[in-house]
Amino acid sequence: MIPMARVFALLDPKQFEASCVHWVQGISQTVTGVIAIDGKTLRRSHEQESGKKALHVVSAWAVENRLVLAQLATEEKSNEITAIPLLLRQLALAGCIVTIDAMGTQTKSAAQMI
């Protein structure tokens, strides 16, 4: 049996992302309710040998659908404040309630959500 990490390593990341985005867009017509936007640092995503730091991502979670609608990695030496506007551009939030923690309470982000 091939471990899943090896399977994902063989996939073209851009093509895989495009396929996921296409799939989510196909079902996103039914997304309503609460969309929770939050940033997380992924456990065990760092590589001590190469000095690679842990991956930090910002996601938009559709609560009722139990589905991540979009996810972006933050730039190294950055935080979710810079990633949230980019993430919001990928979403159609009409009729949804958007929740976000204190880190994301920026006037630009709030205006974009409205």
Residue of higher predicted confidence among 9 and 105: 9
Convert the pLDDT of each residue in 7-23 to its tens digit.
888 899 889 888 887 88
Q: What's the mean pLDDT in 82-111?
A: 81
The domain spans of the chain are 4-113
Confidence of residue 36 (pLDDT cuts 50, 70, 90): very high
Is the pLDDT confidence value at 45 over 70? yes
Total-model pTM? 0.69
Could you write out the DSSP letters of every residue in 60-113? EEETTTTEEEEEEEPPTT--HHHHHHHHHHT---TTEEEEE-GGG--HHHHHHH
